[in-house]
Amino acid sequence: MDARDTDFLSALEAQVLVGDGAMGTYLHERSGLPLDRCFPEQNLSHPRLVEEIHAEYFAAGSHVLRTNTYGAHRVGLAQHGLADSVRKINIHGARLARQASEHRAWILGCIGPLGRPLAPIGKVSLDQARAAFEEQAAFLAEGGVDALVIETIADMAEMEAAVAGTRAACDLPLIAQKTFTEDGMTLMGQFPGEVVQALTELGVDVIGANCSLGPHAYTAILERMALVADLPLSVFPTAGVPMRDRNTVRYEASPRYLAQHAVRFAQIGVRLIGGCCGFTPTHIAAVAAALAEQDESDTARGDSIHRVTRIESAREPQELTERSELSRRMGRDLVVTVEMDIPRGHDMSTLVEGSRFLKDHGVDAVNITDGARARLRLHPMVICHQIEQEVGIETIMHYACRDRNVLGMQSEILGAAALGLRNLLIVSGDPTAIGDYPKATSVFEVDSSGLTRIVTGMNAGRDMAGNLIGRPTSFYIAVGANPMAEDMDEEIERLRHKADAGAHCVYTQPIFELSTLERFLERIAHLHLPVALGVLPLRTARHAEFLHNEVPGIDIPDEIRARMIAAADGEHGDEAAVAAAKRAQTETGVAVAVELVQAAKSMVAGIYLMPPFKRYEMVPAIMEGAGIERRKTAAK
């Protein structure tokens, strides 16, 4: 059948169409390009190779060719510095596929996922997503494709944005394919029938499944979809489970095996059958030959469909039952937590000793930072676990978004839950450019509000993708805020996003004036979040000048710095005078902190002390001076 003789949807109704196979993994196999390369860019740098691959699939029996434009939207290409090449890459992709088949195949403009989480978890808004999909679809239409296929999108919100964008760009036939997991659901927890209903309501023309799973798993999924679908179905499975062999990836499923399942797909009622990762022209040739042997009547829907009962819905998440002691006290009693000074290397003895000292003096919990100032330090999860086991005081594990993608973050947070940790302080993290490794990559795949939303989901028993995680986590989620931010409107708006994402309390950056705290509390009263006041006791006049002049977000009033300078009088005299000046400066720093805590303790839910240079003896001095009653810390 010639693609020029009839339109795509009419052809799909008339016969089962054979799709093509993988482009990315086959390009990798043919050229040796790394799998993390931007394959759509090959439309420009290696057009002959891309056209040859299309031609091989067409010669193998493909009625339908997908353009080499998976992820070639502005969001995806920007990750490779190619945002300005969207039009050229997509138009060339369409033309290469059409040239390869000499206009005798139907060309599907291929649109893949953004590769970045949508807001509020990620930074890509729905409007930005729709605009990216609309732009790509418009250029594919300009290139002359016969239809569009949206592939491998897991998030239904992203699928809605993709459909809306493509519909705004053109009126070409639209195929929407979701990807599924081995438990028969999408990554967001939707069953096949629910996917069919949702995509039908979006107004697509063909509904399908692709990637992630091989043909065996997709057989059951397509059976369930066929039970409720009124629209044509499509499927592009992988060629089995991938195996890494040195620098390449191999798929073990044989052409004969894949061809047998293609026949089964046709018997179910699937109208477009191709392949995803691992499928080559050899596999497609076997699929085409097997389908050609089937009688047309055997492909119609009817008695051949195995009636399958719907998978039982997943059990509802359990309620949180293992709250931390800190979460019970915050907002009820005045809690005191102390930030530890994390040493270099892996010797934790000073941390254990310091934690034991703080516990003995009535501190409720200790804060363990996560590579603060982008310095190399031991992972806070290790430190927290060790301290809780050896000392019996609760810890607050700081967690920065800088160093890990969402997969690594969720894995480590689950690990923290498995170790019994219950308190998190989520921060975006300082950029690597200011730290020990200025050329290291900063990830920042999500910000602190996005990660807060992820952990809130885990507390409800599901991961970011909506998959059940079994026993829910029980994290008390703290977030940071800077009451001295230059743009307080923006700071309050960010805090509002964190509150909406599920934050339980706020820990402030260190401040030195009561009026700053009062203004901040007034601005955030509508958020109803308990506040732990950040207090950094000053050690010397030089310490005060350094913080004021060199550390972003810290502003120490002139009057306080003058007091520290006055206390330093005599530090250039003899040994006794120097020692006396050091004591006087430390005492003045403690006095300044006591005055602030005394005035603020009735306004806040907690005091967050940050003694410098392991000067933990400052903590009981401040607590006693401010009239904070020592409380026996409950053993964990």
The angle, 0 to 180 degrees and rounded to 10, between the axes of the packed helices 156-169 and 192-202 is: 30
| Beta carbons within 10 angstroms of residue 601's beta carbon | 17
CA 341, 502, 494 angle in degrees (round to 5)?
A: 75
Reference 484, options 492, 473, 475, 474; nearest CA is 492
Q: Which tokens sit at 33? A: 């390009």
Report the Cα 505 to chain-centroid distance in Å. Answer: 22
Distance CA 283, CA 286 (A): 5
Distance CA 560, CA 538 (A): 10
How confident is the model at residue 320, as a pLDDT? 42
Q: Which tokens sit at 7? A: 């339109």
Contact 424, 477 (CB under 8 A): yes
pLDDT tens per residue, range 413-448: 999 999 999 999 999 988 887 777 877 888 888 899
Q: Same CATH topology for 8-299 and 325-538+605-625? A: yes
Determine what percent of the chain falls in helix, strand and coil, rounding each to the nearest 5: 45, 15, 40
Distance CA 107, CA 600 (A): 68
pLDDT tens per residue, range 346-359: 999 999 999 999 99
CA 442, 444, 449 angle in degrees (round to 5)?
A: 150
Contact 233, 279 (CB under 8 A): no
Reference 551, options 373, 406, 288, 374; nearest CA is 373
For residue 365, which phi and psi values (nearest 5 degrees)? -160, 160
The residue type at 431: P
3-state secondary structure of 285: helix
For residue 294, which phi and psi values (nearest 5 degrees)? -80, 140
Q: pTM (2 decimals)?
A: 0.65
Residues in the chain: 636
3-state secondary structure of 64: strand
CATH of 325-538+605-625, one of 3.20.20.220, 3.40.50.2300, 3.90.226.10, 3.30.390.10: 3.20.20.220
pLDDT tens per residue, range 4-40: 467 899 999 999 999 999 998 888 888 777 767 899 9
| Beta carbons within 10 angstroms of residue 492's beta carbon | 18
For residue 312, which phi and psi values (nearest 5 degrees)? -65, 145
Homologous superfamily of domain range 8-299: Homocysteine-binding-like domain (3.20.20.330)
Beta bridge partners of 480: 507
Distance CA 370, CA 354 (A): 18
Distance CA 225, CA 530 (A): 48
Distance CA 246, CA 256 (A): 26
pLDDT tens per residue, range 106-140: 999 999 999 888 988 888 999 999 999 999 999 99
Beta bridge partners of 243: 250
The answer for residues whose C-beta is within 8 angstroms of residue 505's C-beta and 6 or more apart is: 330, 331, 476, 477, 478, 479, 529, 530, 531, 532, 605, 606
Reference 54, options 87, 82, 26, 35; nearest CA is 26
Q: Where along the chain do its domains lie? A: 8-299, 325-538+605-625
Tokens 């990762």, residue? 277
- Ranges of residues in the chain with a pLDDT under 50 are 1, 4, 295-297, 299-320, 634-636
Distance CA 49, CA 180 (A): 31
The angle, 0 to 180 degrees and rounded to 10, between the axes of the packed helices 541-550 and 558-567 is: 150
